[in-house]
């Protein structure tokens, strides 16, 4: 059985439905149609069944997946954790200044044409106003990317993506802001965090901060650089409701993610009495991204959602009502616990708790990959399958008499020795769905199924 991996989407199919099913399972929820397939574990096997055939107590196939290995005489029960394939190394670098190359090229052209052609002709060529052309040629209001010498902090042109940078991103996601400059805000007594952030910023960017103690017992660690603020905001968002993980983290080794998670958790998390690691945010996107990344790295997580009542006064303004999301990492897999509590093979399965059917008028989408039509979905990843086969047959029945033609049928036939999850790969599941639909034909249906290799 293989680990999960990213695949390019080769095509997208959409169709309308009248209802949506919400499958609530331990620690998460996923929305599907009645005809979408969901992979479940039943009788020691993994199989795909349609949502409408599911029932309470079914066990979903999730990430991370804990499977038992064949028993060896004289040994303890062996397990294997199936998660995601991440690279072991990274050579990625990030542009600190976020220079606009197109703007630089326009500026170079404007300056090269000074005294050669009219400003009107230059405007027609580069697409900026005549006032801008005049200012540039007179060295007034030149593009900011060309004004680095005016910036007091001597920033590098680019930084290498390292575990230290990821930890800074984590701190920023929890307690940072990027407008109008970069700053981190911690409690006045959180001295280890102050020291860590200052040390990391010095190591990664070579800069030192200005420190400001406030009347509400916080310490602001300030870096008076709009460029640094934009850099952090670009990669991790700006404002508590808009924070998110850096795009780069989805393709980085586990060590990098653990450093990001540690920075975020130290700023915005805590340990429960039972040893679970919890993090709370008003950014739904952030918690969903962390849920997926933790799961893909083999950590068992759950998500809770709640609302809080506003009214508390902050800076002479009442805070409005709001909504928050809570990420919970199980005590046996969370990386901040003592080793005595860690056991990656002991975590609860994704048991279906209830299935809710809701009216819906709109489109749903099937994402078709290169190799198969199985994919992970939900606010924590569970394995799903497209509904195209059932949809194909349902549409044919409505339009009968009809002919269903399947080209290259051999591409979805079973390949000897290429089993998936006990001998049932996605292509075989698709073929099985076709056979099941054909088996359900009645004598009165005017349908013909044809296939070619």
Using one digit for the tens of pLDDT, what is the confidence trace for 398-407?
778 888 777 7
Q: Which two structure tokens, joined as six digits, stand for 128?
A: 């900026």
pLDDT at res. 358? 94
439 membership: H or E segment, kind and range: helix 426-439
Q: Which of 385, 391, 382 is nearest to 424 (CA)?
A: 385
- Total residues found in the chain within this entry: 453
Query: Mean pLDDT of all residues in the chain?
Result: 83
pLDDT at res. 24? 94
Q: Which of 320, 322, 304, 324 is nearest to 312 (CA)?
A: 320
420-424's contacts with Cβ under 8 Å and 24+ in sequence apart are 420/1, 420/2, 421/1, 421/39, 421/45, 421/46, 421/61, 422/1, 422/45, 422/46, 424/45, 424/46, 424/47
Instruction: Tell me whether strands 374-377 and 402-407 are parallel, antiparallel or unpaired.
Output: unpaired
Distance CA(19)–CA(34), nearest Å, equals: 8
Cβ(208)–Cβ(301) below 8 Å: no
Distance CA(286)–CA(346), nearest Å, equals: 26
287 membership: H or E segment, kind and range: helix 284-296
Asked whether the bond before 157 is cis by omega within 30 degrees of 0, the reply is no
Give, as one character, the DSSP assignment of residue 2: P
Cβ(441)–Cβ(386) below 8 Å: no
**3-class state of residue 301 by DSSP:** strand
Distance CA(271)–CA(216), nearest Å, equals: 25
pLDDT for 282 beyond 50: yes
pLDDT at res. 331? 85
**Percentage of the residues of the chain whose pLDDT score is greater than 90:** 37
pLDDT for 248 beyond 70: yes
Q: Which of 228, 141, 219, 144 is nearest to 184 (CA)?
A: 219
Q: What are phi and psi of 313, to 5 degrees?
A: -90, 125
Q: Which of 284, 285, 291, 269 is nearest to 323 (CA)?
A: 284
Q: Which two structure tokens, joined as six digits, stand for 315?
A: 């800076």
Q: Please compute the mean of the pLDDT values over residues 289-303 and round it to a whole number.
A: 93
pLDDT for 205 beyond 90: yes
Lowest average pLDDT, out of 74-83, 146-155, 226-235, 377-386, goes to 146-155
**Percentage of the residues of the chain whose pLDDT score is greater than 70:** 82
Q: Which two structure tokens, joined as six digits, stand for 70?
A: 């064949």
pLDDT for 377 beyond 80: yes
Burial, 158: exposed, middle or buried (Cβ in 10 Å; 0-12, 13-18, 19+)? exposed
pLDDT at res. 34? 83
Question: In sequence order, what E strands does 370-422 have?
Answer: 374-377, 382-385, 402-407
Distance CA(169)–CA(166), nearest Å, equals: 5
Q: What is the largest CA-CA distance in the chain?
A: 89
Q: Which pLDDT tens digit goes with each residue over 88-131?
A: 999 999 988 876 667 778 888 888 988 888 888 888 888 888 88
Q: Please compute the mean of the pLDDT values over residues 239-261 and round it to a whole number.
A: 95
pTM for the whole structure:
0.76
Distance CA(176)–CA(230), nearest Å, equals: 12
pLDDT for 12 beyond 90: no
Q: Which two structure tokens, joined as six digits, stand for 157?
A: 């042109």
Cβ(227)–Cβ(157) below 8 Å: no
Lowest average pLDDT, out of 54-58, 90-94, 316-320, goes to 316-320
Q: Which two structure tokens, joined as six digits, stand for 342?
A: 């860690």
Q: Which residues pair with 213 in a beta bridge?
A: 219
* Helices of type H across 88-241: 101-112, 119-126, 130-137, 163-175, 191-205, 226-236
pLDDT at res. 267? 92
Q: Please compute the mean of the pLDDT values over residues 295-320 and round it to a whole number.
A: 77
Tell the residue number behind the tokens 């200012």, with chain if given.
135
Q: Which one is predicted more confidently, 276 or 409?
A: 276
pLDDT at res. 389? 64
Q: Please compute the mean of the pLDDT values over residues 337-343 and round it to a whole number.
A: 57
pLDDT for 415 beyond 60: no
pLDDT at res. 139? 83
pLDDT for 10 beyond 80: no
Q: Which one is predicted more confidently, 332 or 198?
A: 198
Q: Which residues pair with 405 in a beta bridge?
A: 450
pLDDT at res. 315? 52
Q: What is the DSSP string of 43-92?
A: TTEEEEEEGGG--TT-EE-BSSEEEEPPP-TTSPPPEEEE-B---S----
CB atoms near residue 7 (< 10 Å)? 14
* pLDDT interval class at 359 (50, 70, 90): very high
Distance CA(261)–CA(293), nearest Å, equals: 10
Q: Please compute the mean of the pLDDT values over residues 160-172 and round it to a whole number.
A: 98
Burial, 409: exposed, middle or buried (Cβ in 10 Å; 0-12, 13-18, 19+)? middle
pLDDT at res. 419? 42
Distance CA(385)–CA(322), nearest Å, equals: 35
pLDDT at res. 48? 83
* pLDDT interval class at 152 (50, 70, 90): low
Cβ(307)–Cβ(282) below 8 Å: no
């Amino acid at each position: 059985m293989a680990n999960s991996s990213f695949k390019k989407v080769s095509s997208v199919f959409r169709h309308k439905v009248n209802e949506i099913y919400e499958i609530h399972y331990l620690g998460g929820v996923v929305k599907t149609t009645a005809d979408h397939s969901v992979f479940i574990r039943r009788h020691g096997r993994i199989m795909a069944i349609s949502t409408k055939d599911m029932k309470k107590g079914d066990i979903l196939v999730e990430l991370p997946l804990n499977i038992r290995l064949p028993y060896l005489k004289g040994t303890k029960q062996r397990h294997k954790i199936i998660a995601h394939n991440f690279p072991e190394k990274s050579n990625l670098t990030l542009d600190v200044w976020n220079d606009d190359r197109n703007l630089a090229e326009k500026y170079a052209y404007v300056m090269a044409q000074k005294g050669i052609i009219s400003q009107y002709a230059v405007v027609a060529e580069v697409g900026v106003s005549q006032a801008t052309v005049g200012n540039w040629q007179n060295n007034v209001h030149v593009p900011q990317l060309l004004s680095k010498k005016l910036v007091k902090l001597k920033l590098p042109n680019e930084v290498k993506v390292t575990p230290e940078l990821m930890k800074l991103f984590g701190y920023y996601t929890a307690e940072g802001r990027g407008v109008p400059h970069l700053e981190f805000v911690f409690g006045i007594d959180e001295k280890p965090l102050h020291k860590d952030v200052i040390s990391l910023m010095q190591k990664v960017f070579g800069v030192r901060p200005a420190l400001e103690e406030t009347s509400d017992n916080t310490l602001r660690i300030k870096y008076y650089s709009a460029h640094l603020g934009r850099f952090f905001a670009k990669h991790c968002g700006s404002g508590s409701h808009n924070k998110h993980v850096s795009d780069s983290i989805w393709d980085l080794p586990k060590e990098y993610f653990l450093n990001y998670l540690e920075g975020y958790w130290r700023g915005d998390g805590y340990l429960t009495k039972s040893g679970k690691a919890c993090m709370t945010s008003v950014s739904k996107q952030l918690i969903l991204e962390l849920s997926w990344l933790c799961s893909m790295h083999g950590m068992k997580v759950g998500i809770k959602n709640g609302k809080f009542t506003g009214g508390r006064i902050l800076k002479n303004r009442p805070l409005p009502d709001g909504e928050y999301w809570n990420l919970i990492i199980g005590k046996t897999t969370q990386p901040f616990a003592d080793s005595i509590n860690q056991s990656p093979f002991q975590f609860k399965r994704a048991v279906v708790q209830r299935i809710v059917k809701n009216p819906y008028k709109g489109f749903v989408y099937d994402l078709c990959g290169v190799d198969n039509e199985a994919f992970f979905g939900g606010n924590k990843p569970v394995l799903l399958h497209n509904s195209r086969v059932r949809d194909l047959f349902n549409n044919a029945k409505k339009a009968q008499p009809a002919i269903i033609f399947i080209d290259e049928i051999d591409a979805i036939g079973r390949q000897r020795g290429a089993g998936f999850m006990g001998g049932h790969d996605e292509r075989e599941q698709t073929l099985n769905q076709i056979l099941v639909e054909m088996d359900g034909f009645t004598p009165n249906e005017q349908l013909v199924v044809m296939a070619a290799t």
